[in-house]
Amino acid sequence: MKKISILGSTGSIGLQTVEIVREHLDKFKIIGIAAMSNIEKLEEQINEFKPEIVAVFNEEKAKILASKINEKTKIVSGMQGLIEVATHDRVDIVLNSVVGSVGMIPTYHAILSKKNIALANKETLVVAGKIIMQEAIKNNVSIIPVDSEHSAIFQCLQGESVKDIEKIILTASGGPFRKMSKENLKSAKYYDALKHPNWDMGRKISIDSATLMNKGLEVIEAKWLFDISCEDIDVVVHPQSIIHSMVEFSDSSVIAQMGLPSMKLPIQYALTYPTREKSSIPKLKLSEIRTLTFEEPDLDRFPCLQLAYDAIKIGGTMPCVLNGANEVLVSKYLKEEISFYDIPKYVEKAMNKHSSFDYTSLDELLEVDKWVRNWIMNELK
């Protein structure tokens, strides 16, 4: 029986993780759950799974939840609460699907407590990849990707040696605005971006998918997870989202991982790794799909992807600036306070303003993250 904590249990990935647990009650036991503020959903999950500990990031909401729960469940709050859920004694694996760089702190503490990590929170690696991977090695902890592309690469690499990798080929659906002209993109609205053709995702990642920033963050994530130079990570647009990513080896062999687009597959694999279990995910029928197509990403219409390559090439604290700026800008775009192209415009401005340095602690990164968020807010005034 694997004992799990789920950080972000009420979000899109969290709910799908809960479904997988429900389908495999003989395999998994939920010990802890954590969410930002959705206490109605948390209450349902407490009643169904009887976790030992529950964290609500929002302290007021935590109090309300505590007053409603008469189980033996311990209710905690704030970042300290998230850390408690992530480091609980009885937990074997922490699934982290918190949105944004705020997720890096509980991930870090979970690693120090020698918990394996099923990582859906890509911002953790974008911002703090160096420290996170160093600590994971030091503490003999596995970081198993939940991001579908990275899960694909991870699966392609089973039984292989990282030194034989020639290239990683990340596939991108191209997002909801793949075919939109630059002129129309200038006035593209957030609610159109939320209608993703293939993937059912949260709000933030849906916007990142529309700008291709998501793919840029994934390039950085892949660099850290697989210890590979970003020059050896290619992106190819594959609108059907059937091939979830590929690895090219030194002998020119290319291995791809395929399946119908469902986040339940990479979530389940991360939880069952190194074995596989039966799942409710529909089977891929290639004769029904018939056509798989591929095209180059358009960096002119989607400059965020190039900005992410630039940030990781500069290295140090620059990806932290790229990410912090993007998080603020996406939340502004979701409130219709800025336009689609303001996102790359201000990310680039922030990057130009920042002198990158080689960080040695999470505190330094938190400082940079705070600086860039304030800087963007001031610029937009």
In the complex, the residues that contact Mg ion under the rule CB under 5 A are 147-149
Comparison of 268 and 317: residue with beta carbon closer to Mg ion: 268
CB 144 within 8 A of CB 119: yes
Find the residue with minimal CB distance to Mg ion.
147
Give me the residue label for tokens 């971006």: 193
φ, ψ (nearest 5 deg) of residue 321: -70, -45
Taking the complex as a whole, the smallest distance from the CB of residue 217 to Mg ion amounts, in Å, to: 9
Comparison of 30 and 217: residue with beta carbon closer to Mg ion: 217
**Tokens linked to 68:** 């409603």
Spatial CA neighbour of 352 closest among 378, 325, 381? 325
Taking the complex as a whole, the smallest distance from the CB of residue 29 to Mg ion amounts, in Å, to: 28
**Tokens linked to 230:** 């970003």
Comparison of 221 and 310: residue with beta carbon closer to Mg ion: 221
How far is the C-alpha of 188 from the C-alpha of 314, rounded, in Å? 31
Strand partners, 258: 243
CB 346 within 8 A of CB 329: yes
Comparison of 116 and 151: residue with beta carbon closer to Mg ion: 151
Taking the complex as a whole, the smallest distance from the CB of residue 54 to Mg ion amounts, in Å, to: 28
Comparison of 261 and 315: residue with beta carbon closer to Mg ion: 261
Comparison of 51 and 145: residue with beta carbon closer to Mg ion: 145
Taking the complex as a whole, the smallest distance from the CB of residue 84 to Mg ion amounts, in Å, to: 29
CB 222 within 8 A of CB 168: yes
Taking the complex as a whole, the smallest distance from the CB of residue 277 to Mg ion amounts, in Å, to: 22
Comparison of 45 and 124: residue with beta carbon closer to Mg ion: 124
CB 257 within 8 A of CB 4: no
Q: Name the strand (E) or helix (H) holding 261.
A: none
Comparison of 149 and 369: residue with beta carbon closer to Mg ion: 149
Spatial CA neighbour of 349 closest among 331, 376, 327, 373? 376
CB 342 within 8 A of CB 207: no
**Tokens linked to 7:** 């950080």
Comparison of 243 and 350: residue with beta carbon closer to Mg ion: 243
- Which residues 6+ apart lie within 8 Å of 97 measured at CB? 6, 7, 8, 9, 11, 12, 13, 14, 17, 120, 121, 146
Taking the complex as a whole, the smallest distance from the CB of residue 106 to Mg ion amounts, in Å, to: 21
Strand order in the sheet with 165-172: 233-237, 165-172, 243-249, 254-258
Q: What is the CA radius of gyration of the chain?
A: 20
Query: What's the burial of 352, exposed, middle or buried (CB within 10 Å: 0-12/13-18/19+)?
Result: exposed
Query: What's the burial of 305, exposed, middle or buried (CB within 10 Å: 0-12/13-18/19+)?
Result: buried
Taking the complex as a whole, the smallest distance from the CB of residue 289 to Mg ion amounts, in Å, to: 20
Taking the complex as a whole, the smallest distance from the CB of residue 149 to Mg ion amounts, in Å, to: 5
Comparison of 205 and 350: residue with beta carbon closer to Mg ion: 205
Taking the complex as a whole, the smallest distance from the CB of residue 9 to Mg ion amounts, in Å, to: 20
Taking the complex as a whole, the smallest distance from the CB of residue 360 to Mg ion amounts, in Å, to: 29
